[in-house]
Amino acid sequence: MVVYDSRNRSLVGPCGTLPVPPGDDATVKMIMLLQGQCMGVGPTRAAKNFNYSKSRYYQVLHAFERQGIDGLVNRKTGPKRNYRRTPEASKLVIRARFLDPDASAEVIASKLRQDGYPIATRSVERTITEYGLQKKTPRSVPGR
């Protein structure tokens, strides 16, 4: 019988061990499913062994049933693209910065919102920084 050693992050069997690489959550989830579904441990106990809730166990199980091992891989959450800082909105920020270099990000964002672009001041600041359009600040030279 194969057992998962959580302290050493490895599978231990009668003839040796197989280490699980750090950060490989898909393998750990697969081991949890094997314990819960195939080794008679049961879903509740298997989830507890891996610090998951029973409901999360079933989410992982259903993901595996639908997508196989790909369903166990952690995915980035949140937006998949920049839906506020579209290429067109970025071009308008750059244009506004070149037309009026002294305009603040807040003023540029306000102008864009008036034109129908739902953009936050912070997004304008990010665009300005991304394209290197910040205002240059004079440095004091030591000894002068």
Task: Check residue 46 and give its pLDDT.
Answer: 93
User: Hey, where are the domains in the chain?
Assistant: 3-72, 87-130
**Residue 34, strand partner residues:** none
Task: Check residue 96 and give its pLDDT.
Answer: 95
Task: Check residue 73 and give its pLDDT.
Answer: 94
Task: Check residue 17 and give its pLDDT.
Answer: 93
Angle at which helices 87-99 and 105-114 pack, to 10 degrees? Answer: 120
Task: Check residue 56 and give its pLDDT.
Answer: 96
Task: Check residue 1 and give its pLDDT.
Answer: 75
Q: What is the 3-state secondary structure (H, E, C) of 17-46?
A: EEECCCCCHHHHHHHHHHHHHHCCCCHHHH
Task: Check residue 144 and give its pLDDT.
Answer: 60
DSSP 51-108: T--HHHHHHHHHHHHHHGGGGGS----S-SS-SSS-HHHHHHHHHHHHH-TT--HHHH
Ranges of the chain whose pLDDT falls below 50: none
Task: Check residue 78 and give its pLDDT.
Answer: 81
What's the order of all strands across the beta sheet hosting 10-13? 3-5, 10-13, 16-19
Task: Check residue 81 and give its pLDDT.
Answer: 76
Query: Which DSSP letter does residue 72 get?
Result: G
Burial class (CB in 10 A: 0-12, 13-18, 19+), 56: middle
